[in-house]
Amino acid sequence: MAESATRYLYLTRHGEAAPDGSGLTADGRRQAVLLGRRLADRPIAAVHHGPLPRAAQSARLIAEQLGGGRPGNEPLGGGPLGGGWQAGAVPTVCEEAGDYVPYVPERHELPADSADYLLDFLAQSTAEERARGPELARRAVQRFTGPVAGGEDRHELVVTHAFLIGWLVRHALSAPAWRWLGLNSCNAALTVIRYTPGRPSYVLLHNDMRHLPDELCWTGFPSEARC
């Protein structure tokens, strides 16, 4: 039997996005830098991100903090992207980490008391998002989940969007396909899933914001969903 090792999959939603879609707000840049600092001592071997500007910029800011971190006296956001480049994993764009609807359930799959609400929510997405999403979701599971080949554990970061994080958490828990709905993530919050050979997958963290000060927490969530 081929040797395999544990994969640690780090998932984060991009930082707070600018209203015009051009990238991140000032708070979003701070969120990404602070997440990068949190991960600076982790042996991240790869950083993947979706193609939209808010994910690409977040990935660059996070990656700048990896592989040794910034000098201690450098101010937060000291450079145009939040600091000087450090030796670490180089961010790589991939379509599987993009923003799409991973699965659209039929009404009979949903709880009767929330089916109308969930279907109305999904109706807000575009036909393109719904059409291409299932194939991208299948490829994301294939690319990002499960143990890795070889004898060394691997740590990977995916900078993405809330829908994919919900989909991969649902997959890790072997929950019904529709149950990605309601598994939300704040901007720059951290989710970690462990895939160890011969064991069930473990969700070690979900939507963790301990690296963010209070004023940067819960962005991307409606006020009634904050706690």
Rounded to whole angstroms, the Cα distance separating 52 from 98 reads: 7
Classify the phi-psi angles of 23: left when phi > 0, otherwise alpha if psi is within -120 to 50, otherwise beta.
Answer: left
Q: Which residue has the higher pLDDT, 82 or 130?
A: 130
Report whether pLDDT(74) > 60. Answer: no
Helical ranges in 39-180 per DSSP H:
53-64, 115-122, 127-144, 162-172
Q: Which position has the higher pLDDT, 157 or 70?
A: 157
pTM for this model (two decimals): 0.90
